[in-house]
Structure 1
């Protein structure tokens, strides 16, 4: 047995055994309280509500969020009723329409700019976050399968 192998067996093996016995170190050691969970859920659902309004073409919400998602009179929901065919669980992936590897945000902006002739929205904007929240929420329970067409 080489010196390196002996070092690994006598130094690393006990540490690995200890990790197995103790369990993995958690990034968040404090448990989430029911109150915190309720607050998180309320904030998320407020974003889902805004995203739902944007997705269905609510002019007041677009104005409030200072975005122009369509200049054709079309709303996202007209091509994607109930967010059908948005497939958020498959992103990131190679997107044929764009001829590039894309994220869900890239695809949202492509739809806004191309078929709807709207104005691209910033990736970190509240409108983008709301649209993503709504799309992900509407697909709850979908198994993640990134890279799938």
Structure 2
């Protein structure tokens, strides 16, 4: 299910459908992470056996855990699920006694930037079209 949502993400962000090879790489990456629960935390939001979204956090990234992926399926957007997912991520990291979460977002992804801003993310670095942000885990929106 996560790999299918990743394919949708890839297709939307690149303006094309992913190739079978790209899909296989994403599925392999997902499978490896699922087999490493101490290194990664992945959670899928579902309703009536339908995936609404998911997130994926690397717990072993340095200097702080890294948000690798957050996604809400197109048909579920605009309903506050991004906020639900962010609150869940922060709760999981608080349980693990983590102070901050790092993430990378495209400069032109205004919806994601607004979401992260609501939770107190601050700019750490700019690299081309990408922004590196840090978000305090104690944050609540």
TM-score by length of 1: 0.28
Q: Higher relative contact order at CA 8 Å, sep ≥6: structure 1 or structure 2?
A: 1
Per residue, is there more strand in 1 or in 2?
2
Per residue, is there more helix in 1 or in 2?
1
TM-score by length of 2: 0.30
